[in-house]
Amino acid sequence: MTAPENLQEIPEDQTKTEDIVKTKDGLLIMQRILKTTDITLKKLNNGAMIVGEKKRETRTVSLAFAFKVGSINENEKNNGISHFIEHALFKGTNNRSSYDIKEPIERVGGTLNAYTGRISTVYFAQVPYTHAQNTIEILYDMVRNPSFSEHEISTEKKVILEEIAESYDDPVDLIYNKTLLKIWDKHYGKPVLGTTESVSTLNHISLSNYYNAHYTSNRLIFAVAGNYNNDFLEKAEALLQSFPQARELPAPIAGSMKTIKEPIVERKKDLKQVHLLLSIKAPSRKDKDFEAFKIFNVLLGSGMSSILFHNIREKHGMVYSIGSEYIAYENFGTLFIYASTTPNNLQKLMDLLKIELKRIVNAGITNEEFRYGKERLKGKLMMATEGTLPILSRQLDSVMTLGVAESTDDHIARIDKQDFVNTNEVIRNYLTSHWNTSLLVPETFELSFDANFNIY
User: Would you list the DSSP string of 113-139?
Assistant: EEEE-SS-EEEEEEEEGGGHHHHHHHH
Residues contacting 376, CB < 8 A, separation 6+: 298, 299, 302, 303
Residues contacting 305, CB < 8 A, separation 6+: 372
Residue 224 near residue 231 (C-beta atoms within 8 A): no
**Distance, CA of 336 to CA of 123 (rounded, Å):** 28
Residue 21 near residue 31 (C-beta atoms within 8 A): yes
Q: Please identify which of the residues 86, 152, 291, 369 carries the catalytic annotation.
A: 86
Strand partners of residue 115: 122
**Distance, CA of 432 to CA of 453 (rounded, Å):** 11
**Distance, CA of 206 to CA of 209 (rounded, Å):** 5
Closest CA to 228 of 303, 298, 135: 135
Strand partners of residue 51: 41, 223
User: Would you list the DSSP string of 12-33?
Assistant: ----EEEEEEE-TTS-EEEEEE
Residues contacting 419, CB < 8 A, separation 6+: 292
End-to-end CA distance of the chain: 53
**Distance, CA of 396 to CA of 248 (rounded, Å):** 23
What are the start-end ranges of the H helices in 193-255?
A: 196-200, 204-214, 230-240
**Distance, CA of 225 to CA of 220 (rounded, Å):** 17
Read off the DSSP letter of residue 423. H
Q: Give whole-number Cα distances, 361 to 188, 294, 352, in Å.
A: 30, 17, 14
Q: Is 9 tagged catalytic?
A: no
CA 37 to chain centroid: 26
Residue 29 near residue 21 (C-beta atoms within 8 A): yes
**Distance, CA of 157 to CA of 243 (rounded, Å):** 27
Q: Tell me the catalytic residues.
A: 86
